[in-house]
């Protein structure tokens, strides 16, 4: 029997902590009720989950040989980084989402053993996730919902950079920045097939003068991994970072990497705003008004290309695109560990094999029952591992 990375009690504790946090967040947003005219969201996500369920543990074991998960979490900290908070979420959500679908398909009830479980693999995954998040957060917690909804990942030097950039109002025009942010949000929404990827909020960061800094980022802006991402228009930056400095605002982060600010319209509470671009391994570069306009134009042009291309996708590919979409979460973790692009290509190939085998059945079948379970089941979102007797 393969030795488990953590005891089964700790494994089930982590499954429960993650699952109940996700359940509460999803039901508050009614995520299970979302629909799209472009993509088959209800089937592409389970396909992506199945891809990760089948393939991610061996890849993560390979990745862990290059860099320990705590070290990977530490490398994720900072401005304009990818992977960020959503990638660890996807690792857990996908694996346990598809496992839960298998439990439902098997006609099991909560608390019954599942013959398909490999406790050692599940223990490795949960231990990897917990150590990754520990290195990322460095506050003793794994999720914002376990704290005051905060996510603080900046060094003192980066905080000083944003503090200086927002001092005395900053040098950027708020309406222009808001237009750029809205365009980048739409671009990332279409690029990622209406998945909440590439849009990241973190903070709050209290400043010495009593004001609060909070940060919104747009990353994956020069993606060359997704097969539909190669547009004629190219953003000049890998990531855009917007720093906001305000008073009388409440900032909350969640396990998806999203951020809410109350009141929603907070412009009159801002003391300053700044914008930085990040490219490659270089440090953040302050952007001028002309730079902001150029980013918006490139994002608008690329978003239109992506949208028109997606309109031509047939019903089969509206599901099958879930394979590269979810590979795009595992690859950044491998890249951060120092893996070469051949590893990324192997991830895509493995996921494509699952998609080739499973998409027709998903297209012909009913919406997977996991959505109803996520939306209304009164017990645990993800059932615990029960050893066979």
User: How many domains is the chain built from?
Assistant: 2
pLDDT of residue 31: 53
Residues 287 and 323 in one domain: no
State the Cα–Cα distance between residues 107 and 258, nearest whole angstrom: 35
pLDDT of residue 114: 97
pLDDT tens digits for range 2-60? 789 999 999 999 999 999 999 999 887 765 455 677 899 999 999 999 999 999 999 99
State the Cα–Cα distance between residues 286 and 165, nearest whole angstrom: 8
pLDDT of residue 238: 97
Angle at CA 91, nearest 5°, toward 343 and 227? 50
Residues 246 and 335 in one domain: no
Question: 224, 259, 223, 227: which is closest to 244 by C-alpha?
Answer: 259
Residues 117 and 251 in one domain: no
Beta-bridge partner residues of 241: 217, 276
State the Cα–Cα distance between residues 91 and 81, nearest whole angstrom: 18
Parallel, antiparallel, or unpaired: how do β-strands 259-262 and 270-278 relate?
A: unpaired
Report residue 379: phi and psi, to 5°: -90, -150
pLDDT tens digits for range 309-348? 999 999 999 999 999 999 999 999 999 999 999 999 999 9
Residues 98 and 205 in one domain: no
Question: 55, 48, 40, 102: which is closest to 364 by C-alpha?
Answer: 40
The burial of 290, by beta-carbon neighbours within 10 Å (0-12 exposed, 13-18 middle, 19 or more buried), is given as exposed
* Within a domain: 384: no
Residues 163 and 296 in one domain: yes
State the Cα–Cα distance between residues 70 and 78, nearest whole angstrom: 15
Report residue 263: phi and psi, to 5°: -75, 155
**Residue corresponding to tokens 């978003």:** 303
Q: Which of 23-27, 33-37, 103-107, 199-203 has the lowest mean pLDDT?
A: 33-37
pLDDT tens digits for range 273-316? 999 999 988 899 999 999 999 999 999 999 999 999 999 999 99
Residues 61 and 91 in one domain: yes
Let me know: does 80 contact 241? Beta carbons within 8 Å: yes
Residues 337 and 253 in one domain: no
* Within a domain: 145: yes
Please measure the distance between the N-terminal and C-terminal CA atoms of the chain and give it in whole angstroms.
15
Domain range holding 135? Answer: 8-149+315-376
**Residue corresponding to tokens 């300053």:** 272
Phi-psi group of 367: left, alpha or beta (phi > 0 → left; psi -120 to 50 → alpha; rest → beta): beta
* Within a domain: 302: yes
Q: For the whole model, what pTM was predicted?
A: 0.96
What would the two tokens of residue 243 be? 């720093």
Q: How far is CA 48 from CA 197, 206, 324, in A?
A: 14, 38, 8
Q: Looking at residues 140-169, what average pLDDT do you find?
A: 96
State the Cα–Cα distance between residues 363 and 28, nearest whole angstrom: 29
Residue 1 above 70 pLDDT? no
Question: 254, 60, 50: which is closest to 151 by C-alpha?
Answer: 254
Residues 323 and 275 in one domain: no
């Amino acid at each position: 029997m393969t030795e488990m990375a953590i005891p089964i009690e700790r494994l089930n504790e982590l499954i429960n902590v993650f699952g109940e946090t996700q359940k509460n967040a999803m039901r508050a947003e009614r995520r299970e009720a979302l629909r799209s005219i472009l993509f088959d969201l209800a089937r592409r996500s389970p396909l992506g989950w199945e891809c990760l369920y089948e393939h991610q543990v061996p890849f993560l074991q390979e990745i862990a040989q290059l860099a320990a998960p705590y070290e990977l979490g530490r490398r994720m900290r900072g401005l304009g980084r990818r992977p960020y908070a959503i990638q660890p979420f996807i690792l857990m959500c996908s694996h346990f989402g598809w496992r839960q679908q298998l439990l439902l398909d098997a006609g099991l009830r909560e608390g019954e053993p599942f013959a398909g479980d490999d406790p050692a693999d599940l223990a490795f995954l949960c231990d990897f996730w917990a150590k990754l998040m520990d290195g990322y957060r460095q506050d003793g917690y794994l999720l914002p919902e376990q704290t005051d909804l905060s996510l603080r990942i900046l060094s003192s030097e980066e905080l000083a950079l944003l503090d200086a950039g927002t001092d005395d109002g900053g040098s950027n025009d708020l309406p222009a920045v808001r237009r750029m942010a809205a365009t980048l949000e739409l671009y990332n929404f279409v690029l990622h097939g209406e998945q909440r990827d590439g849009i990241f909020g973190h903070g709050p960061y209290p400043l010495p003068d009593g004001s609060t800094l909070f940060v919104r980022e747009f990353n994956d802006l020069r993606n060359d991994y997704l097969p539909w991402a190669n547009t004629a228009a190219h953003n000049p930056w890998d990531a855009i970072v917007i720093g906001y400095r305000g008073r009388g605002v409440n900032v909350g982060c969640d396990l998806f990497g999203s951020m809410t600010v109350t009141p929603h319209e907070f412009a009159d509470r801002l003391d300053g705003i700044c914008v930085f671009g990040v490219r490659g391994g270089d440090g953040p570069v302050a952007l001028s008004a002309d730079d902001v306009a150029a980013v918006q134009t490139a994002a608008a042009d690329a978003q239109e290309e992506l949208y028109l291309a997606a309109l031509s996708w047939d019903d089969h590919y509206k599901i099958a695109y879930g394979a590269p979409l979810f590979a795009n979460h595992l690859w950044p973790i491998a890249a951060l560990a120092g893996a070469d692009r051949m590893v990324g290509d192997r991830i895509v190939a493995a996921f494509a094999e699952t998609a080739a085998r499973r998409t027709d059945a998903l297209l012909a079948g009913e919406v997977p029952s996991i959505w109803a379970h996520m939306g209304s089941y009164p017990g645990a979102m993800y059932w615990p591992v029960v050893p066979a007797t």
